[in-house]
Chains A and B, each alone.
Chain A
Amino acid sequence: MFKIRKLGLKLLLFICLLGIANTIFPGTFSIFTSPEVVYAMEEESTNPILLDAIENIRIYSTYNYQTLNDTKLNQLSTGFYLPLTYGEVELTWEVDNQRIVLDENVQSITVSSVTGDVVIDVIEGRIVSLPNAFAGNDPFVLTATLFFGEESASAVYTGQLVPVMPDGFWEGAFFTFFRYLSLFVEGVVTTLLLSLAGTIIGFFLAMILVMLRLLKPSEMDSRFIRYAKVGLSTFSKVYVTVFRGTPMIVQAAFFWYGLGLFGNALLCGLFVVSINTTAYIAEILRGGIQSVDSGQTEASRSLGMSGLQTMRYVIFPQAIKNSMPAIGNEFVINIKDTSVLSIIGIFELFNQTRKIAGMHYRQLEAYFVVALIYLFLTYTVTKLLQAAEKKLDMPIQELKSSN
């Protein structure tokens, strides 16, 4: 059982590392990027009429005769019309994909152009079957051969057949999950990256913040030190009040749209999560420190250890251990709460889902899937943290030599 947990932790780390690497070197790790598709290639020809034809041939969708430009040809899920003439140039067509059948019958369609409606002869390309969600996109190549008098040339168009979302809810949910798995994974990575890094950074900042909070002016200090202590302690209090008292969504909008911090939404988002978490963890640590029996401090001081040494070697280790469950909980909360960073255009899990829902206009399935993913993440992380807590309880850490 424990081995599985260990594996899970490693997997989580691996995904995070991959995510970091992908952020730093975009496109290096192929699971996060779609393959590049070339729209058209021309065979060498010197005839200006043929060149002009290759340049201006249009493929039309059977839906409203819309022109299929390169992006639409790469997301093809409807039938299409292929022109047989362009001016004096005549064309023949071939396709290499079994799922597409080119009709023998010549039809006439009326399309609008700059010079008014034009009637052109076309053949229909009919899609007889679409690939399913698991198979993903199915690439195809349309080859046109152009004849002009004695001369001929060919043009090659590549496109992709995309699966169409099935009607039923469960089918749709499965489809959404498998079809957009890589997009979801991208979102999960960003979410985990933001919440984990935010929690870790927040934890270290919170340690400093809580130290400031606990500064108490004593009669033995000089006047300057006394003022400094009061000032820093007050700063800590105000910080906690402000960042716990305002919504993270407002903080995100303030720092990104208001100040444009770092010029990078992801970094700005990380900053927002971190400073927000700092405020919460500082309060958790304060509680943890206060929960350590005052006798521990007295014993340490009675042995001649300074306040700082007492804090570092006696109080903090115990306070952190006491606070660990709550800090872990903060991480779980962050996994959910980073969804508000979608407002500043970070494509974490929630924003990614909005994108996916928009592709098929099927909200229910997409948000159902993402709810399950969030649930999976929080549940897994909670279990991992519980295992870690159990482990943390047993050994007493090695005491390092003084330096």
Chain B
Amino acid sequence: MEPIIKIVNLKKSFSNNEVLKGINLEIHQGEVLSVIGSSGSGKSTLLRCINLLEISNSGEIWFENERLTDNKINLNRLRAKMGMVFQSFNLFNNLNVLQNCMLAPMKVLGVSKEDAIRNGLKNLEAVGMKDFAYQNPKKLSGGQKQRVAIARALCMNPEILLFDEPTSALDPEMVGEVLEVMKQLAEKGMTMIVVTHEMSFAKEVSTRVIFMDQGIVLEENDPQSIFTNPREERTKAFLKRILS
């Protein structure tokens, strides 16, 4: 089967600091890929390069047989198919919860207002936020904001969802509700790439885990193997540090 995303020898540096040193990766339909690794290992940068929020220096990214690194590509059309959930939620402060979910479908996909409302409420219901549809996002808790952000991404009917440390900015008691929503999405067969520090999530929900270290994919395996029997020394050290 053709992969949804195929990354070939991707490199990215900020001035003199090389963050990604040649990444090769394939993600298939229905996969849940967890990306783990210590901070500074290039996990978030990888995700942002896939969404072209960062322009890579060299290498190729293929998304549904189109090369994203091509200059001539219609970026907005492809981004619309890739949902992104940020660490800091980034809900639009000038709009209420439902409007946050309606804006992009109406302006990018050309959905009618009625359909946007219906679809928005449906997705808000899926993340348990329907009752807050007309609230100002500023008044929500972190976990609620992140669930709205997931609903907002879902409203675009994306092919794949990218999660950039979705629970790192949350109070511990709110992590659970967000992970629960992500778990449900995984069960429904959504393709996801999740950069995370939540090892339990990576272990239970993902179908594959990659360990990144110093800008390369050091180890790649199914969750069971990587957590119980890591091959690389640095993976061992990282897991020991984070699980103790």
Contact = CB atoms under 8 A, between A and B. Distances in A.
B2 to A, nearest CB: 22
Interface string A283-325: 0000000000101101111111110010001100110010000
A301 B82 CA distance: 11
A293 B82 CA distance: 22
Interface stretch (A129-137, A162-170, A264-272, A395-403): A395-403
A309 B79 CA distance: 14
A402 B94 contact: no
Interface residues of A, number: 25
B93 A296 contact: yes
Interface of B: 51, 53, 55, 71, 76-84, 86, 88-96, 99, 102-104, 106-108, 110, 112-113, 136, 149, 152-153, 156
A397 B110 contact: no
Contacts of B106: 399, 401-402
Contacts of B93: 296, 318
Contacts of A302: 51, 53, 79, 82-84, 86
A359 interface: no
A305 B108 contact: yes
Contacts of A305: 76, 103-104, 107-108
Contact of A397 (B51, B82, B89, B94): B94
A401 B99 CA distance: 11
A298 B53 contact: yes
Which one of A293, A299, A302, A313 has the greatest number of beta carbons of chain B within 10 Å?
Answer: A302
Contact of B90 (A295, A309, A313, A401): A295
Given A298-B86, A299-B92, A314-B94, 19 more contacts: A295-B90, A298-B90, A299-B84, A302-B83, A302-B86, A303-B80, A303-B104, A304-B77, A304-B104, A309-B107, A313-B92, A314-B92, A318-B93, A318-B94, A321-B94, A396-B136, A399-B99, A401-B112, A402-B107
A304 B94 contact: no
A304 B76 contact: yes
A299 B99 contact: no
A220 interface: yes
B71 A313 contact: no
Contacts of A104: none
Given A396-B95, A399-B95, A401-B112, A304 B156 contact: yes
A36 interface: no
Contacts of A220: 71
Contacts of A317: 94
B107 A313 contact: yes
A150 interface: no
A299 B55 CA distance: 16
A219 interface: yes
B113 A401 contact: yes
A51 to B, nearest CB: 80
Given A396-B136, A399-B102, A401-B113, A300 B92 contact: yes
B123 to A, nearest CB: 13
A58 to B, nearest CB: 75
B94 A295 contact: no
Contacts of B110: 402
Contacts of A306: 76
6 contacts: A298-B86, A300-B104, A302-B53, A399-B102, A399-B106, A401-B106
Interface string A104-147: 00000000000000000000000000000000000000000000
A301 B88 contact: no
A299 B80 contact: no
A397 B103 CA distance: 13
Contacts of A321: 94
Contacts of A318: 93-94
A154 B180 CA distance: 106
